[in-house]
Amino acid sequence: MMRVSRPPTLTAATAKNIQDAILRGDFAPGEPLPEADLSKRLEVSRGTVREALRLLQQQGGPIEIIPHRGAFVTKLSLERAKEIYTLRSLLEPHAVRLAMEQKAYRAPDLLELEKLIQRLEELEKEGNNSELIETDLEFHRVFTKRCHHQLLLEVVGNLQSQTLILIFNTKLYRSDMVPDSVSHRAILEGIRSGDPLAAEEIVRKHIIDAGTSLVKRMEEVNREDSPADRGREPMLDAGRFEHRAQPGI
């Protein structure tokens, strides 16, 4: 039976545009998201923007809504960054090991992972950080879902919104040591090797390396922002984050 593809509602489309703008770096962490400004830029009503912001928060998007103050781009703290990557480094490696011990990966899974890596390469060349982040998340979702451990998948899924914020900050701080396509290629090769322990360690190293590199960069920027260092050239300039004009916002 053919399935009818339903177009997104105006609220959902508005929420997607706002999230894409944040992931492109159009709004810095901690920056307010005024309904009136977004309404003008997106050419929708303030009510639609308000509902879109609520939807984005419910979906775990990179925003927080503070009563009587409005919506703001989520600002990642050092402590939360450490919590996210250290927890991921326990969950995702275990998922890939379980999947491999069950010989759960099939040719279509490997082909899908290969296509996602190729897409990462394309997006890196384009400088499209918004879709790059989403493709990164999708790659991790694909290789973890074959573990057939429902509770583990639920925990990983609940962590996804925090993972999105973490990956966004690796782009903002430019903390990646190697391109995403390279580090994710290593994971795919680990899965292809057929060695569960080796693949588990590759995934763990990937997550820990990315997390520790981000935390180190955040600590450098925090030191730069200390009173003793004020007056020097800033180490983090949100304006240097890739800005790519998109229709509607």
Q: Does residue 181 share a domain with residue 166?
A: yes
The enclosing domain of 49 has a CATH number of: 1.10.10.10
The enclosing domain of 87 has a CATH number of: 1.20.120.530
Q: How confident is the model at residue 58 (pLDDT cuts 50, 70, 90)?
A: confident
Q: Does residue 57 share a domain with residue 180?
A: no
Q: How far apart, in whole angstroms, are the C-alpha atoms of residue 143 and residue 79? A: 27
Q: Give a yes or no: residue 3 inside a domain.
A: no
Per-residue pLDDT reduced to its tens digit, 112-144: 999 999 999 999 999 999 899 999 999 999 999
Q: Give a yes or no: residue 184 inside a domain.
A: yes
Mean pLDDT taken over the chain = 87
Q: Does residue 204 share a domain with residue 191?
A: yes
Q: Which pLDDT value is given to residue 138?
A: 96
Q: Does residue 22 share a domain with residue 120?
A: no
Structural domain boundaries enclosing 103: 78-226
Q: Does residue 105 share a domain with residue 216?
A: yes
Q: Does residue 210 share a domain with residue 162?
A: yes
The CA-CA-CA angle for residues 33, 249, 31, to 5°, reads 25
Q: How far apart, in whole angstroms, are the C-alpha atoms of residue 49 and residue 99? A: 41
Per-residue pLDDT reduced to its tens digit, 74-95: 999 999 999 999 999 999 999 9
Q: Give a yes or no: residue 233 inside a domain.
A: no
Q: Which pLDDT value is given to residue 160?
A: 87
Cβ–Cβ under 8 Å, residues 102 and 193: no
**What would the mean pLDDT of 56-79 be, rounded to a whole number?**
90
Q: Does residue 45 share a domain with residue 132?
A: no
Q: Does residue 197 share a domain with residue 186?
A: yes
Q: Which pLDDT value is given to residue 224?
A: 79
Q: How far apart, in whole angstroms, are the C-alpha atoms of residue 27 and residue 122? A: 24
Q: Give a yes or no: residue 242 inside a domain.
A: no
Please give the structure tokens belonging to residue 70: 């409005």
Inform me whether the pLDDT recorded for 241 exceeds 70: no
Inform me whether the pLDDT recorded for 175 exceeds 50: yes
Q: Give a yes or no: residue 241 inside a domain.
A: no
Which residue would you say has higher pLDDT here, 23 or 206? 206
Q: Does residue 143 share a domain with residue 66?
A: no
* φ, ψ for residue 112, nearest 5 deg: -65, -40
Q: How confident is the model at residue 7 (pLDDT cuts 50, 70, 90)?
A: low
Q: Which of 51, 75, 99 is the last residue of a domain?
A: 75
CA 163, distance to chain mean position in Å, is 5
Inform me whether the pLDDT recorded for 244 exceeds 60: no
Q: How far apart, in whole angstroms, are the C-alpha atoms of residue 229 and residue 215? A: 19
Q: Which pLDDT value is given to residue 243?
A: 39
Q: Give a yes or no: residue 231 inside a domain.
A: no
Q: Does residue 207 share a domain with residue 183?
A: yes
Per-residue pLDDT reduced to its tens digit, 202-225: 999 999 999 999 999 999 998 876
Q: Does residue 68 share a domain with residue 46?
A: yes
HSE value, Cβ hemisphere, 13 Å, CA-based, for 74: 25
Secondary structure of the chain in the HEC alphabet?
A: CCCCCCCCCHHHHHHHHHHHHHHHCCCCCCCECCHHHHHHHHCCCHHHHHHHHHHHHHCCCCEEEECCCEEEECCCCHHHHHHHHHHHHHHHHHHHHHHHHCCCCCHHHHHHHHHHHHHHHHHHHHCCHHHHHHHHHHHHHHHHHHHCCHHHHHHHHHCHHHHHHHHHHHHHCCCCCCCHHHHHHHHHHHHHCCCHHHHHHHHHHHHHHHHHHHHHHHHHHHHHCCHHHCCCCCCCCHHHCCCCCCCCC
Please name which of 112, 126, 116 lies closest in space to residue 183, comparing C-alpha atoms.
116
Q: Which pLDDT value is given to residue 6?
A: 54
Q: Which of 27, 51, 75 is the last residue of a domain?
A: 75
Q: Give a yes or no: residue 203 inside a domain.
A: yes
How many separate domains does the chain show? 2
Q: Give a yes or no: residue 43 inside a domain.
A: yes
Q: Does residue 216 share a domain with residue 159?
A: yes
